[in-house]
Amino acid sequence: MSAAAPAAPQNQAGIVIRPSTEQDVPAMLDIYTHHIRRGLGDVSLEAADPDDIRKRRKNMLGKRLPHLAAECDGRIAGYAYAVPFRKRPAYRYTVKHSIYIHPDFLGIGIGRRLLAALMESCAASGYRQMIGYVDASNAPSIRLHESAGFREVGRLPAVGYKFGRWTDSILMQIALGPGSSEPPVPLPPKKPAARNP
């Protein structure tokens, strides 16, 4: 059972948004497992293992995409990352994102801070569009995205089935940087894959 939600840090001074580290993986796994077991937004049915989280994190960092952690008074309160929207080269300037918040830290601005940091990092790296898939019943997430400037661009009815019911996804989008108002600048090259000794 979760402890009572902590009081919001004054002026959010106690919240630090930073690149995730290998040491954050166990906390990220706990947060992700909670969302798999209770949430409709991620339609995974089986919990991830630490190696899966580590691989995802390394993969995103290798592609020079942000993988961020939110730390609140020494605890990992949430994490977020961006991934390529599609594998085909024509889509290389578009990313989609995921944000997961620890249940003890909901409603105190962690998601807002993570989303803003993701958008800033992706825009600085030359990405031009960001996509979010939001469960249609998740009103707080929809409000968060709208407050950040995302707009609904589509609805996918009954695309997920979890907890004995069908779920709809809302497709939300925001332009980053100059968006489509000018041609893109080539993205930085990917980091070379690390070799095992």
* pLDDT tens digits, one per residue of 145-185: 999 999 999 999 998 887 788 989 999 999 999 999 999 98
Rounded Cα distance between 78 and 112, Å, is: 11
From the CB of residue 138, how many other CB atoms can be counted at a distance below 10 Å? 17
Q: Where are the domains of the chain?
A: 15-175
Instruction: Answer yes or no: is pLDDT of 49 > 80.
Output: no
195 band by pLDDT with thresholds 50, 70 and 90: low
Contacts of 142 (CB under 8 A, 6+ apart): 134, 136, 152, 170, 172
| DSSP 8-state secondary structure symbol assigned to residue 41 | S
Rounded Cα distance between 41 and 50, Å, is: 21
* CA nearest to 8, candidates 109, 127, 154: 109
- Sign, CA torsion 118/94/132/154: positive
What is the structure's pLDDT at 3? 35
11 band by pLDDT with thresholds 50, 70 and 90: very low
Q: What number does CATH give the domain 15-175?
A: 3.40.630.30
* CA nearest to 66, candidates 19, 116, 11, 17: 19
Give the residue-averaged pLDDT of 94-120: 94
User: 32 in the Ramachandran plot: left (φ > 0), alpha (ψ -120 to 50) or beta?
Assistant: alpha
Give exposure, 84-108, as e/b (b: 16+ Cβ within 10 Å): bbeeeeeebbbbbbbbbbbebbeeb
Instruction: Answer yes or no: is pLDDT of 40 > 60.
Output: no
Are 17 and 79 in contact by the 8 Å Cβ rule? The answer is no
For the ranges 7-16, 104-113, 129-138, which has the lowest average pLDDT?
A: 7-16
Please give the model's pTM, rounded to 2 decimal places. 0.83
What is the structure's pLDDT at 175? 98
Are 191 and 144 in contact by the 8 Å Cβ rule? The answer is no
